[in-house]
Amino acid sequence: MPSTREADPPPAEILPPNLTAEIERLFTLQGRQAEPLRRTTAAQRIRKLRRLRAALMAHRPALHAALHADFRKPPEEVDLTEIGPVLIELRHAIAHLPAWMRPKKVRTPFYLIGTSAEVRYEPKGRGLILAPWNYPVNLTLGPLVGAVAAGCPVILKPSEHCPHTGRLLKELLATVFPESEVAVIEGDRRVAQALLRRPFDHIYFTGGTAVGRLVMQAAAEHLASVTLELGGKSPVIVDETADVEDAAEKIAFGKFSNAGQTCIAPDHVFVHESRHDAFVQALTAQIRAFYGADAGARAASPGYARIVNDHHFARLRACYDEALAAGATPFPGAAHRAGDRFIDPVVLTGVPPDVRLMREEIFGPLLPVIPFRHLDEAVRRINEGGRPLTLYVFSRKRDNVAYVLDRTTAGSTCVNDTLLPFIHPELPFGGAGPSGIGRAHGYRTFLAFSNERAVLRQRLRRTPLKRFYPPYTRTTRRLIAALLKLLGA
């Protein structure tokens, strides 16, 4: 399922010579620093993470201002969805990094008697983080925590669609790290293309599917590993047993925070036909309670963000107009203001399955609600749409939840709430198939930037395995046959 966070990229473009030289300088500089960083201890890395945490808190008012300037993100949302998740990552890494870095002993199978084995964790080397615009602090600094924990130097490229935040992040990180360890390069897609031509050891990309394919192609040129968080449509099921008021409140928060520009936001809702009208009514009431009684009040609400740029505003407006022309009904109504890129939070019923709202990731404050009669109908529709990044289920019936889990695949699933798997540091975060590759958060981000090195030590000079060496005699063949029989038992 295509993602709409990024438009399809044009062919590679040429960078000005000064920018090309700067990229090459930083890449070379970090290459020289990779070996010293490889030898840093857990205590040294923890000190860096603590300095990052202190700098993040010190820059909190400036981050509020920068994100408001970029797309009027409310300061409360900045705290909850940008700064807070990074603090969770930092807290978790600081607490667990010594254990993560410690070599892990593994058990010895009977046929390798006399040996011992362990897994050691060493930095992969130079990392590249290509960050998106929708959560420019969270999805830039979150991956950075794992890279620093793993001992990798990193170049970060923030999104050009949030210039105020990107500039501030560059200033913030410069107070914590030398550019030989962490460097920020601002710029448009040409900068990203130029960076991708360098042989980084690991690339962490968050964004749209179209660009994700190009990132993977570029990584393949150098056989670099990748983490790709690509998004897609994240459906919701509200069954006949669900608490409609509770579901409406949680879905409204998950959907309309950041004006719907969230990779794991509920994209559309399948609701049991017996609860459909009550759910739409509750969801409409929740929009009014959160943001204001009418469109004017919602437009004036300090708690509601804006669409990031004119391109995405026009795309959402076109999707909305197409759905209405095809017979959809909006609740509580809808208003759009191109001047400040305001789109009213809206619930849509009667949305035909062939319109763009149902074919593409919405990534905005438009929420289709689709009735179903039998649970297998909703499951079938979800499976036809590809593997979602996140799937939400609201139900008080365990058998229904089990039915959905057993018959669908998703990067993550949340039962009776929204968004929460993202901020659980012990849960792996990532997509399935087209919605992403690799896992992140906590230990998984540390692993993404680490090489798991297998080490085996042989203690015996006259190992029993020597009996299997050539020449292959009749006795050797009997021993091999006996071993295979034992292994196959």
pLDDT digits (tens, 9 = 90+) for 136-166: 999 999 999 999 999 999 999 999 999 999 9
Residues 6+ apart with CB under 8 A from 453: 119, 120, 121, 122
Query: CA separation (Å) from 426 to 93, 152, 326, 429, 445?
Result: 11, 22, 44, 9, 11
Give me the percent of the chain exceeding a pLDDT of 70: 97
Confidence of residue 3 (pLDDT cuts 50, 70, 90): very low
pLDDT value at residue 13: 66
Residues 6+ apart with CB under 8 A from 112: 456, 465
Please give the model's pTM, rounded to 2 decimal places. 0.94
Confidence of residue 12 (pLDDT cuts 50, 70, 90): low
Give me the percent of the chain exceeding a pLDDT of 90: 92
Residue tagged 């570029």 (tokens): 218
Query: CA separation (Å) from 391 to 34, 249, 259, 406?
Result: 39, 17, 19, 13
User: Is residue 2's pLDDT more than 50?
Assistant: no
Question: How big is the CA angle at 195 (ends 190 and 198), to the nearest 5 degrees?
Answer: 140
Residue tagged 């095809």 (tokens): 326
Residue tagged 């509580």 (tokens): 332
Q: Is the dihedral of CA 416, 419, 424, 429 positive or negative?
A: positive
Q: List b or e across 48-79, with b for residues whose CB sees 16 or more CB atoms inside 10 angstroms.
A: bbeebbebbeebeeebbbbbbebbbbbbebbe
Rounded to the nearest integer, the mean pLDDT of the chain is 95
Q: What is the pLDDT of residues 190-237, one digit of tens each?
A: 999 999 999 999 999 999 888 999 999 999 999 999 999 998 899 999
Q: What is the pLDDT of residues 75-119, one digit of tens each?
A: 999 999 999 999 999 999 999 999 999 999 999 999 999 999 999
Q: What is the pLDDT of residues 16-29, one digit of tens each?
A: 888 899 999 999 99
Query: Closest Cα partner for 408 from 423, 433, 391?
Result: 391
pLDDT value at residue 7: 41
Distance separating alpha carbons of residues 197 and 393, to the nearest angstrom: 42
pLDDT value at residue 232: 87
**In the chain, what are the domains?**
17-231+439-451 (3.40.605.10), 235-426 (3.40.309.10), 459-487 (no CATH)
User: Is residue 41's pLDDT more than 80?
Assistant: yes
- Report whether 403 contacts 383 (CB < 8 A): no
Q: pLDDT higher for 128 or 10?
A: 128
Mean pLDDT of 431-453: 96
- Report whether 312 contacts 363 (CB < 8 A): yes
Q: What is the pLDDT of residues 290-339, one digit of tens each?
A: 999 999 999 999 999 999 999 999 999 999 999 999 999 999 877 899 99
Beta strands in 108-199, from DSSP E residues, in sequence order? 115-123, 127-130, 154-157, 182-184
pLDDT value at residue 205: 98
Confidence of residue 245 (pLDDT cuts 50, 70, 90): very high
Catalytic residues: 229, 263
330: buried, middle or exposed (CB in 10 Å: 19+, 13-18, 0-12)? middle
Query: Closest Cα partner for 366 from 381, 349, 386?
Result: 349
Q: What is the pLDDT of residues 353-400, one digit of tens each?
A: 999 999 999 999 999 999 999 999 999 999 998 899 999 999 999 999
The single-letter code of the amino acid at 306 is R
